[in-house]
Amino acid sequence: MFLLLFAVIISSTFVSLIYFKVKNNFNGDKGTLESESREIHGPKGYPLVGKGLEFIFPDSVETFKKIIDYTQKWDYRIRAYAAWHRFVLVAVPEDIEMIMTDQRFLEKSEDYNAMRDWLQDGLLTVSKKSKWQKRRKILTPAFHFSILEEFVQVMNQQASVLTNILKKHADGDGFDIAHYISLYTMDVICETSMGTKINAQTDVNSEYVKAVVELSSILHWRQHHFLARDNWFWKWTNNKKRHDYLVQKIHSHTDNIIEARRIEKQKNTLNGVPVADDLGIKKRTALLDILLDSTIDGAKLSNEDIREETDNFMFAGHDTTTSAINFLLYNLAKNPEIQQKVYEEIVEVLGSDPSKTFSVNDLSNFKYFELVLKESLRLYSPVPIIGRYLREDVEIRQRFAQLEIKAVTSRILQNFKLELADPNFEPILSAELVLKPVNGIWLKLKPRQNA
């Protein structure tokens, strides 16, 4: 018995949705998931292709709408198939919690295969339980309080760069803030993961940034193209050739940074202890430094092992945090009374000086802001798709990101009051690699008196 779990977080309307896919299994024995799934009803499809014809052309907005409509119509548990893919979709939080908290179900679904050329077997895509557990163990120190404090200083600096850029829009017409947020999170994630500045917010010609953005777009296209999801069809597309070129370019960039950091680390370390530079300043610790110092079963990680995790951290931390910040800013602009309460708490914790740097403790002291952030994440979950294979019967949580979201939102609210560019504006949701507003997040900025 062989099932695929596919979790889709249905934002704003539903809490979440799980999809079990039955593959090469016609076992009707009582008590198995296959037989249980037959008790669940759903939309009828055409012979052989099922509902596949509805998903041949890649329109993520329409795909997302159909998933929501089907889920609502069939009472949050539906059964369907598309060609050779059989699946059950479940929009019940308890079902999702049961699967996602059970370490028996760590094996990723085929939906992650499209990212494996780029991310390979990093923590996000790895399916082997033993490897996942060992990698997670060595990454845990990256989120120790002292390391997070160093990360927050990066967020401080990059948030100040962002607010200085946004000042050109103060008291002006409405504009799409989503692009600026994406560049901010790219700067933060690259400096905290690889220990290198790419200056995405100020260097519009960054080749690395362009490559990551274009590759993400190609992966999104493939994910929603019914035929391109198949490896045989995919290899004949023009996008496959471009994809391979971009993967090689990104890998080379990361490899060069890893090797340079390894040499620098050896040069600046005395008897295993980091030494300060000529000014007495120690270089900030990045995720890359922790990986360079780590061992698994007594052996140092190879450059390829390290690249897997830095690329995974960069990918997972960039798009998801961008999505979370964008929808939080939208919700704050849409609800001015809540925005005011958040601003008042920011002033209470940080003071009225918008240039003051904040610490992990400062960001942890936001109580009301924390509730607002969690409610925004509930309404617009950044990750629309989570997939798992289930090989056993079964009956039918991210401190770094929250610090970054609080850091940049605090800095923005210290400088500006947010308003919707159009009072009736609503984001059009697209279930891409993460949840995105395809029409952007259009806001107006009003400078605050103390900014």
Q: What's 168's domain CATH number?
A: 1.10.630.10
Q: How many domains would you assign to the chain?
A: 4
Residue 280 and residue 314 in one domain: yes
In a domain, 215, yes or no: yes
CB contact at 8 A, 50 and 56: no
How many Å apart are CA 218 and CA 220, to the nearest integer?
5
Residue 79 and residue 136 in one domain: no
CB contact at 8 A, 368 and 342: yes
Residue 22 and residue 48 in one domain: no
Question: Residue 444's pLDDT is what?
Answer: 94
Residue 220 and residue 252 in one domain: yes
Residue 357 and residue 408 in one domain: no
CB contact at 8 A, 17 and 98: no
Cβ-based burial of 161 (10 A; exposed 0-12, middle 13-18, buried ≥19)? middle
CB contact at 8 A, 324 and 368: no
In a domain, 174, yes or no: yes
Residue 337 and residue 215 in one domain: yes
Residue 12 and residue 144 in one domain: no
Measuring CA to CA, which residue among 5, 9, 7 is closest to residue 382? 9
How many Å apart are CA 432 and CA 435, to the nearest integer?
6
Domain termination site, one of 348, 379, 410: 379
In a domain, 109, yes or no: no
In a domain, 300, yes or no: yes
How many Å apart are CA 297 and CA 299, to the nearest integer?
6
Question: Residue 415's pLDDT is what?
Answer: 93
In a domain, 195, yes or no: yes
Domain termination site, one of 379, 409, 424: 379
In a domain, 413, yes or no: yes
Give all strands of the β-sheet with 442-447 in edge-to-edge order. 175-176, 442-447, 416-420
Residue 62 and residue 162 in one domain: no
Residue 85 and residue 145 in one domain: no
C-alpha angle 193-199-250 in degrees, rounded to nearest 5: 55
At 149, is the secondary structure helix, strand, or coil? helix
Residue 150 and residue 250 in one domain: yes
Question: Residue 25's pLDDT is what?
Answer: 39
What does DSSP say about strands 429-431 and 435-437: parallel, antiparallel, or unpaired?
antiparallel
H or E, element range at 94: helix 93-100
In a domain, 286, yes or no: yes
CB contact at 8 A, 225 and 59: no
Q: pLDDT tens digits, the chain, 451 residues: what are they?
A: 233 444 444 433 333 444 444 443 333 343 344 444 556 677 777 666 666 666 665 577 877 787 778 777 777 677 766 666 666 676 777 777 777 777 777 777 777 778 888 888 877 777 677 777 777 777 776 666 667 788 888 999 999 999 999 999 999 999 999 999 999 999 998 888 888 888 999 987 889 889 988 998 898 888 777 778 788 889 999 999 999 999 999 999 999 999 888 888 777 765 555 555 443 445 667 788 888 888 777 888 888 988 988 888 888 888 889 999 999 999 999 999 999 999 999 999 998 888 888 888 898 899 999 999 999 988 888 877 667 766 666 555 446 678 888 999 999 999 999 999 999 999 998 877 788 898 999 999 999 977 6
Residues 6+ apart with CB under 8 A from 291: 138, 139, 301, 305, 306, 309, 310
Residue 44 and residue 24 in one domain: no
What is the domain range of residue 5? 1-28
Residue 263 and residue 224 in one domain: yes
In a domain, 385, yes or no: no
